[in-house]
Every structure is written in structure tokens, then in C-alpha cells.
Structure 1
Amino acid sequence: MSPVLIGLSGIGVLLILLMVRIPVAFAMFAVGFAGIWHLNGLQAAIGLLSSETFALASNAELIVVPLFILMGNVASVTGMSRKLYEAAYATIGRVRGGLAAATVIGCGGFAALSGSSVASALTMGRTALSEMDRFGYSPRLSTGVVAAGGTLGILIPPSTGFVIYAILTQQSIGRLFMAGVIPGLLLLTAFLVTVLILCAIFPEMGPPGPATDRAQKIRAFLGAVPILLVILTTIGGIYSGLFSPTEAAGIGAAMVIVYGLLTGALDWRGFWRAARSSTVTTASVMLILIAAHLINPFIALSHLPSEVSRLLVSADLGMYGTLLVILAVYLVLGCFLEGLAMLVLTLPIFLPVILQLGIDPIWFGVLVVLTLEMGLISPPVGINVFVVKSVARHVALIDIFRGVLPFWFAMLLTLLLLVAVPQLSLWLPGLM
């Protein structure tokens, strides 16, 4: 059997393992180890497993992962994420669809703290769904907006998706964070416009909420000041070059902890819960990265990347045609695979192609991460949909999927806009 066929067989086995719900890291460990053993011998497989594990675990850049995760978890425990939602709710809650729009803004704010789509959907689901139910919002709109709004967590920096992409492609984490700012704001705006259009066509979906007086608005805005200060400090510090992404993560985590202690919102039990959750999430991410550094050499040894590159280049589709084909593959895979698994599985194959075509890897990273977001609300996997279902048990799963459909198309339009205008992603990194 030729190396290319061995590589294709390995990917096929990996897909089967993932579909039967074998954990991503363990599936990649098994396929990567067995593949290298078959192509290069048992000694090479054992040596690579030990060396890559140590090299990755000692990579100082990866400290950014647990620190940003801790920052998001502490912010959730102290209620900082809820404050931004309350400020948006006090401002636009009285207009038709205002509570749903406030939820989108709240999701965007929490995404800028946690970098996790699942955490954003879960936190805002617990906060916002009961309010929208209380004021008679359509379950399709309320659950759809929470599931879709949660996807902002993987695009608006700090983003775990960008960190993993940067590690796998050896790109700058800081430049990727900056590249995600404008696309993240564009997507947030697209979600807001989608809410307004839905409520204009179907007024019964989002009845107006209660009016608030000036004192309530001021109190709500003052409550949101700490979370805005943390966001501006971390992202602004990276953009200005004042500190690195790792230092920004440490400063951000320290700020939310100090806020929790000063306000009394963080006790020992809450901190322990946030730290334990951060440790579990970090361990999962690290296992996936270590497994990625085992399966990537197997794919390289199979010569599969060079064969795919040759086929795509020989098809003479041009830069944009090839790019659209690759993004279409991501959209299809997103219906069946978890996002991090897609990154690990496909980047070793597609990265040589986009570099050969002269496509900026930072721009490509933004496009890939956005397509991963779309997978979070695409049937049948749609992780964010199942997260919202766990909170809104009274809403049928099919209704949640119907609710996210307009937002999925809003994401598709945003993706096409970012493909057509690369500078929307590259302008801020170019100024760093």
C-alpha cells in the first residue's frame, strides 16, 4: 500500500472514531502513533510521542490558554458577564426584539473575556433565556440567539481557536487576535440586524420589554464598566505593544480576580470552582495539541499534503476558487466534526496549499475560525445547540435548530464579505 493510501486510510479511521464519540485526543493519538509505526517504525513512533509531549508541555506561549480560560471562568463566577447584558438590556430592552439584541451584545462581551463559545452560550443561556421567556419571546428566537451569539466566543479575541491555529501554523497569536476584532464586530452587527429584521417581519417573536429610567440606565452602565475595562486593557495592550498576549492573559486574570475580591463576589468556593473548570479545559486543549503534533508527522510522512496541493493547483481554480473549495470542505466537515478536531485534521493538508497560492495565513486563519463557528450551530452535531437545549429543556431540539438558521445565513454572508475584502481582517494586524 502506498504512503498516500495509508494516509487516506488513517484519516478514514480517525473520522470513524470521532463519529462514534471517541474523545478527539485519544482518537488522534491512536491513529498518529499507528500511522508513524507503519510508515517509519516503532522506535520513531515512541520517540516522537515522548519528544513532542515534552516540547509542547514546555512551550511558554501556551500559558496564554489557562490564563484566558481562568479569566473567563472567574468573570462568570463573579457575575461580570451578566453586567454587560444588563447594561444593554437597560438601553435597548424596551424596543421590539431588544432583549434578544441585548443577549447578542452580552454574548460578545463574555466572548471577549472567555474565548469559549460553549461557555458563552451556557452562561448567557442561564442569564437571558428566563428573561426572554418572562416577556413572551418566541422560544425559537430566544434559544436561537443564545446559541448563535455564543459562537462569538471563538472569533472575538481572546480566542482559544486562534491560539490553537497559531500553534499549529506557527503564526503570531497577537496578530491573529487583532485580525479577529473587526470580523467579530461585523458578525455581532450582523446578528443584531438579523434580530431586528426577524422582529420587524414577525412582531410577535420579540415583544418590547419594560422601559427603564435614567437612574436605572446609569446604574447598569456603571456595573458594566469593570468588564469593559478588562476588555480594553487586554486587547488594547496587545494592539499597542505594551504587553504580549501571554502578559495580557495574566493581567486580565488578575484584574477579574481583584474585582471579585474587592466586591465580595468571589469567595474561596467560587475561585476553586473556576480554577478546577479551567484546569479541566486546559488539560483537554493540551491533550489535543499533543495529539496534533503526533498525527501531523504521520500525515506529512504519507505525502498526502503534497498530493492534495498538486491536485488543487493543477485544477487551476485560481486563488479565490481554491479558497472557496477549502472553505466549503470546512463547512461540510463542520456538520459532523468538533471544531478543534477539524483544525488538527485539515491544517497539515491545506496550509501548504494556501501558502503556495500566496494566501495570507492570518487572513486564512480568520476565515477558518469563522467556518468553525458555523459548525457550532450546524446540524447534526451543533454543540452550541445542545448546550442551549441543556438549559432550555422545554424547547424542542428541532425548534432550536430552526431558530439558529437565520443567524447561520448571517454568518455565511459575513464569511463571504471577509473573503471579498481581506483588509477587514488584515488592517489591524498591519498597524501593529
Structure 2
Amino acid sequence: MEWLGLTITLFSILICLLLLGIPVAFAMGITASIMVAVFLSPNMLIQMARISFSISTSHLFLVAPLFVLMAALVSHSDIAEKAFLSATKWFSWMPGALPVSTVVACTAFSAISGSSPATAAAIGYAAVPEIRKAGHSKRLAVGVVAAGGTLGILIPPSVVMVIYGILTETSIGSLFIAGILPGFFLATLMIIYSVVYSMREGTARPLAIRPSWGDRFGSLRGIFPILLLFIVVMGSIYTGAATTTEAAALGAAGALLLTIHRVDMRLKGLNKVLMRTAQTTTMLMMLIIFGSFFGFVVSRLGIAHGMVEAVLAANFEPWMVLAFYIGGLLLLGCVMDPASMMVITLPLAFPVLQQLGFDPIWLGVLVTIAVEIGMITPPVGLNLFVLKGIVADDITMTDIMLGAAPFVGIMLIGLLTIILFPSIATFLPSLMTK
């Protein structure tokens, strides 16, 4: 059977399993096993065991649980509230001060969270009531939190980038560094929109408080240790003083030292954090293992090679292929979570895009932005449902969706800008090799 027929068969089985409600990781593993048994050889199923052992014992995979532990420890603290409070004091003079402060707080919390829903939930608890109290519309209040939360998987450390790095064999450290400038760029676009929207609705006024410089610098005490930890972790990766795995271990140990003294971080609190870390790590491991086996089957069946040859023979412009893939991710984002999108699509798309000459670091940033947009697109945008669980009852899901909709457009503008100007993503990683 030619590669096209095999591709149709492969995804037909996968889609049927997903429609039956089977989790993505196991659906991919079952699909790959069926394809091996029918079109290759049952003896090749041993490759699943070899891939499982290789990934689970790889030092690269240690990056994921260590950064997940770091994020879980920090999320268990009150750093989100302190970040929002500090931001309001520093940006109280700006029009639309509270929405602006929300984006800044999301950006700061993203630097140690690595999770989009966690960022939206942590900042949303503090920010949404205050934004509404200041007279802003409820749609702006929830929209700015939902969009700001997406920065959690772009600004490092990012679990999504870890998955991309493992599946494509791309430097995770370089991916982390590449996400910094795009993350700040998207945050800037969100701030500009928040100011313009506030001016349009007539609420673009500074806060009534007039904090002194002493108050502003004093507000940084609560978040300075965490931000220092981020600087040390990312700085050690950037300068080459530590590998990504060593930096992740440093981050987890530092986060433990900074939070272990808290009253709620005794045996019960620490047990909760460790359980959450174990659950998230297990989910990621299953996705990566079965995603890697899925990629192995795609390669052995000749699907990836056939697709590369077909694209090259069709003389498509490289940008057309890239646009098709990014567009596909945006559509999948309406019905699927970021990690699942990546493990399903990358085995097919990455060999083609790599053959067309695209920089894998730059491509990783584009993929991350594309899948993070899916976090705020209905019907299954995770951030939308997270917010619904923490906001007042008078805010409907329709309000949340309509509030997030303009920010989808803002993020698409940011994505297009980074496509047109790749140096936004590649500049800092390029300095790492010098």
C-alpha cells in the first residue's frame, strides 16, 4: 500500500479511537500497534518497549518532572497575588492600570509556572474581581486573564517546549531561550490592546493610589526570590554554566527552599505537590512514549518519506507548507490540548518542514504560539473553562469566550510578526553558540 493509503488508514483508526473517548496517548499507542501488526511485523512491537526504556531513562526527560515540580511548588505559594499587587503599584499611573498590571503579573508568573491554566487560575483569582471593581467590563477582565495565561507555555520553562524538544531532538535549552523575546512581545501587544480598549470604554484612568518609589521597590520583596531563581536557572542555561537538566534540578531545589517554610507546605502540602507532579509527569511520559512510537511507525511505513517527496515534487513554496501546518494547528486547537496536538502532528510535519530548510528553534516557537492560541479558542480552550470555575456566577461562558476573542486576533498578529521577522525568536539562541 502506498504512503497515502497508509496515512488515511493510520488516521482513520486514530480518529475512531479518539471518538470512542480513549485518551490521546493510548489512542496513538493502539493505532501504532495495529499498523505494526498489520503492515509491518508483530515482532517489531518490541520497539515500543525499547522506546519506553530509552525515553524514561533519558536525562533529557528529567527536565519535564523537575520543572513541573518547580512550578507546582511555586503555584502552592502566594506568589501570584504578590506579583499582581506589585504590578499594580508599578503601573498605577498607566491608563487601564489594572488590565495592564494583569498582563505584567501573568508574564512574571509564567516565568516560573510553565503552565497556561495554572497561570490563568492563579492570576485570575486576584485580578478579575479588582478589574471589575475598577469599572472595566467583565469581558475585558476575563479576556485579559485568559490571554495572559497563555504566556505560561511560551515564556520558559515550558513543558510544551520540552515535548517539542524531545520529539524533534532539538535543544530544549535553546528553545527556552528562544521563547523569551516572543513572550515579552506578545505581552506588549496585549498591554497595548488593554490600554486602547480601556480608552474606548471610558475606563482608561490611572489608579487612585499614588505609591512612592519606596512602596514600589518594597513590593518586589515578595517576588524577588522567585524572579531571582528564574534568572539563575535561565542564566545558567544561556551562559552554558549548566545543562538544561542541571538547571531544572537547580530550579526545583530552589523552589523547595523558598516555599518549604510556609505553614501550608508541611507534610500535607508537600504530599499534594508531589502527587500533582507525579500525575502530570506520568501524563507527559505516556504522551511522549506513545508519540515517539507513533513517529517510529510513521517513519518505518514510509509515510514521512512519502510526504516529503510529494511536497517537494509538487513544488509548493515553503511558506505555503508552513502556513498549512500552522493553520492546521489553529484548527486543532479548537478541539484538542497543546500536548496532544504536538505528539500527533509533529511526526508527520517536522520531517517535511525540516527538509524545506526551516530553523527547528524558530519553528518550535511558532508551534508553541499556535498551540497556545488553542488555549483560548472554543469549544475546548482550557483557559476558558479554568476561568469559568473561578469567576462570579454573573460571568457566563459566552462572556469569557467573547472576552478572549479579541486576544486571539492579537496573538495571531504576534504570530504573523514572528513569522515575518524570525530574528525575534532566533536572536538570543544565536548568541548562545558564540
Larger displacement relative to structure 2 (88-97 or 238-247):
88-97
* 1:279-298 pair list within 5 angstroms: 279-298=278-297
Structure 2 Cα separation of the partners of residues 25 and 375 of structure 1? 19
Equivalent pairs counted in the alignment come to 430
Letter in 1 for 2:250: I
Q: Residue 194 of structure 2 aligns to which amino acid in structure 1? A: V
Deviation track 1:274-303 (CA, whole Å, cap 9, x = no partner) reads 111111111110010111122112222332
Q: Does 1:421 align with 2:390?
A: no
User: Structure 1 vs Structure 2: percent identity of aligned residues?
Assistant: 34
**Is 2:229 aligned against 1:230?**
yes
Quick one: which amino acid aligns to residue 273 of structure 1? K
- Per-residue CA distance 1:384-423 (angstroms, 9 max, x = gap): 1111111125221121111111111111111111111111
SS at match of 1:359: coil
Alpha-carbon RMSD across the aligned residues, in angstroms, is: 1.9
Q: Partners in 2 of 1:352 and 1:107 — Cα distance?
A: 34
Q: Map 1:21-420 onto structure 2 (within 5 A).
A: 21-45=21-45, 47-93=46-92, 95-204=94-203, 208-214=206-212, 215-262=214-261, 266-392=265-391, 394=393, 395-420=395-420
- Does structure 2 conserve the Cα–Cα contact (< 8 Å) formed by 1:154 and 1:160? yes
Normalising by structure 2, what TM-score? 0.94
Q: 2:8 corresponds to which residue?
A: 8
- The 3-state SS of whatever aligns with 2:60 is helix
Mind listing any 5+ residue stretches in structure 2 that lack a counterpart? none
Check whether the contact 1:80–1:226 (CA below 8 A) recurs between aligned residues. Answer: no
Structure 1 Cα separation of the partners of residues 419 and 101 of structure 2: 28
Deviations 1:58-111 (A, max 9, x none): 111111111111111111112123322211011224644211111111111121
Secondary structure, counterpart of 1:145 in structure 2:
helix
TM-score by length of 1: 0.94
Would the alpha carbon gap of residues 24 and 207 (structure 1) be closer, same or farther in structure 2, given more than 3 Å must change? farther
Q: What is the letter of the counterpart of residue 304 of structure 1?
A: I
State the 1:193 CA deviation: 1.0
Distance 1:170 1:94 in 2: 46
Q: Is the 8 Å Cα contact of residues 179 and 366 (structure 1) preserved in structure 2?
A: yes
State the distance in 2 between where 1:71 and 1:39 align. Answer: 43
Bigger drift between 338-347 and 76-85 goes to: 76-85
* TM-aligned CA distance change 1:75 to 1:8, over 3 Å: same
Q: CA deviation at 1:189?
A: 0.8
Secondary structure in 1 matching 2:376: coil
Whichever residue aligns with residue 9 of structure 2, its letter is S
SS of match in other structure, 2:241: coil
Contact 2:330-2:374 within 8 A present in 1 as well: yes
| Residues 1:19 and 1:157: Cα distance change in structure 2 (over 3 Å) | farther
In the alignment, the residues of structure 1 paired with residue 56 and residue 30 of structure 2 have an alpha-carbon distance, to the nearest angstrom, of 19
Decide whether aligned partners of structure 1 residues 369 and 96 sit closer, same or farther in structure 2, where only a CA change above 3 A counts: same
- Asked whether the equivalents of residues 96 and 203 of structure 1 are also in contact (C-alpha less than 8 Å), the reply is no
Of 232-241 and 130-139, more deviation after overlay is shown by 130-139
Of stretches 161-170 and 264-273 in structure 1, the one that deviates more from structure 2 is: 264-273
